[in-house]
A and B are shown apart, each in its own frame.
Chain A
């Protein structure tokens, strides 16, 4: 009996050992690509052992390409231009336009570094870094949006433009076996370089939002990387229309704080859509900015006021309010942040009212 048991275990172990040995041998011979050099934007060189994905090779050398899925080819964010990088794989094609395929754009997570490579990435990504941060405070803005203030520890300061976003690293916990990254716009004034604030709305079963709302504690240390994105105020001097809903407030708030601080005189209207009174927040701050910046108007609207809401402001969907109040928009610029549905509807409306498409800027939640 015992003999039969030992024989079975022994055979199973032996077979596994032989197979493991074969795989290790294959890895050390066929899978060994030696040291490879990745040339970034023609000047910077990254040396690393080959055989891994371009995304993780770059990450280990301190170059962060935005990516939300952790390198499984399912978010399509980590696009880089690879010079002589070959045809994209079938796994990449759904994320690439025809022009991108022609221009040699690949998903960094699907490109394996098997030899020397030359790549091109937006210059600003080189200033992207990983930051260790400490949670300084967590405050409720509404029943489902929290404002999280993160003090930068290492490095101790970040230079960013109002409207940019960072990626928040959620460590492995109940809902995820491996760290995942989620993007959030910075809502604080760029002048404050030692800390940033994020506005995070709770999504049921959302991996990151559940973590932030249910698990994150003041004093805890987490990692973020950034800043990313080109959603930022132009310097054309044109009149501005801001439109946001829910936590789409964040990047607009950052822009407004900067405008108020620098004494900006551009005319600006900010249409903010909420469902009911309890979803409306930061009205005090907006009124303060209105006082400091006489050319600014905050126009909140409620889509579905509750019975008990005392409300004398605008009602209806934010698109309806913009349609009623915005007047002639053909010479203005628009900055939109919110759900894809809201943004699509607003872009449609603004175009119909005569705003050229290249003056409509937006940051879509995905």
Chain B
């Protein structure tokens, strides 16, 4: 139990999936212009990451591993994620228009987000238990959301300032992401995740 907490906090800070592994960059760069939209995307990532890491853990531990088919995990994880996202989207659309407007429209964007698949793969490589996987999925989601929110905040403030032509858009965003990654390295002294 204690270790699961450690995994959670490490996933948020010291081993932030976005800023240390640089996964999930496309939506990170594409949807980080406004704090409001990145909040919606961040929330969607938290939900999907947590749920898919649990689902994939179950599929891996009870289907793939016992049959010795671990190498199928790439294909299997990605279809589990895609199917899950599609079903969740249908349900949200049916249940609540507000929730759909805030969260649902981002779901198709993150089906193919490599950070989601990355979390499922890391959890297998690091042989996490069920609880640890849950914590790792949720922590990575929160970490990703924290990173994109910070990024959107920074980009919103930069919005009004004059940026050299060659640095506009993705160029500057990548430099900012690099500096943020350096800042997150500061958390490294706190704990370490293997």
Minimum CB–CB distance from B53 to chain A (whole Å) comes to 17
Q: What per-residue 1/0 map shows which CB atoms of B29-56 lie under 8 Å from chain A?
A: 0000000110010000000000000000
Verify B93–A19 contact, CB threshold 8 A: no
Chain B interface, DSSP helix/strand/loop, else mixed: helix
- Given contacts A11-B69, A12-B76, A90-B101, are A26 and B63 in contact (CB under 8 A)? no
B residues in contact with A86, CB < 8 Å: 97, 101
How far, in angstroms, from A22 to B68 measured CA to CA in the complex?
25
Question: B72 near A: Cβ within 8 Å?
Answer: yes
> Which of A12, A15, A112: most chain B CB closer than 10 A?
A15
| With A26-B87, A26-B91, A30-B94: A89-B76 Cβ-Cβ less than 8 Å | no
Asked, given contacts A7-B67, A8-B72, whether A15 binds B79 with beta carbons under 8 Å apart, the answer is yes
Cα-based distance from A268 to B4 in the complex (angstroms): 80
B83 CB–A CB distance under 8 Å? yes
What residues of chain B lie closer than 8 Å to A11, measured between beta carbons? 63-64, 67, 69, 72
Number of interface residues, chain A, beta carbon within 8 A: 22
Contact A30 B90 (CB under 8 A): yes
- B86 / chain A contacts, CB cutoff of 8 Å: 23, 26
Closest Cβ of chain A to B110, distance in Å, is 15
Contact of B105 among A8, A26, A31, A90 (CB under 8 A): A90
Name A3-19 residues within 8 Å CB distance of B.
4, 7-8, 11-12, 15-16, 19
Question: Chain A nearest CB: distance from B67 CB in Å?
Answer: 6
**Which residues of B sit under 8 angstroms from A20, Cβ to Cβ?**
83
Cβ–Cβ < 8 Å partners of A30 in chain B = 87, 90-91, 94
Check if A309 is an interface residue, CB within 8 A of chain B.
Answer: no
Q: Which residues of chain A come closer than 8 Å to B75, judged between CB atoms?
A: 12
Indicate if B80 sits at the interface (CB-CB under 8 A). Answer: yes
Tell whether A87 pairs with B63 under 8 Å between CB atoms, given A8-B69, A19-B79, A19-B80. no
Whether a CB of chain B sits under 8 angstroms from the CB of A27 is yes
* Pairwise interchain contact A16-B79, C-beta atoms closer than 8 A: yes
B59 on the interface (CB 8 Å rule)?
Answer: yes
Tell me the smallest distance from the CB of B71 to a CB of chain A, in Å. 8
Q: Which A residues fall within an 8 A CB radius of B?
A: 4, 7-8, 11-12, 15-16, 19-20, 22-23, 26-27, 30-31, 86-87, 89-91, 112, 114
Give 25 CB contacts A-B under 8 Å. A4-B68, A7-B67, A8-B72, A11-B69, A12-B72, A12-B75, A15-B63, A15-B80, A19-B83, A22-B83, A22-B87, A26-B86, A27-B90, A30-B90, A30-B91, A31-B90, A31-B93, A31-B94, A86-B101, A87-B97, A87-B101, A89-B105, A90-B101, A90-B105, A114-B93
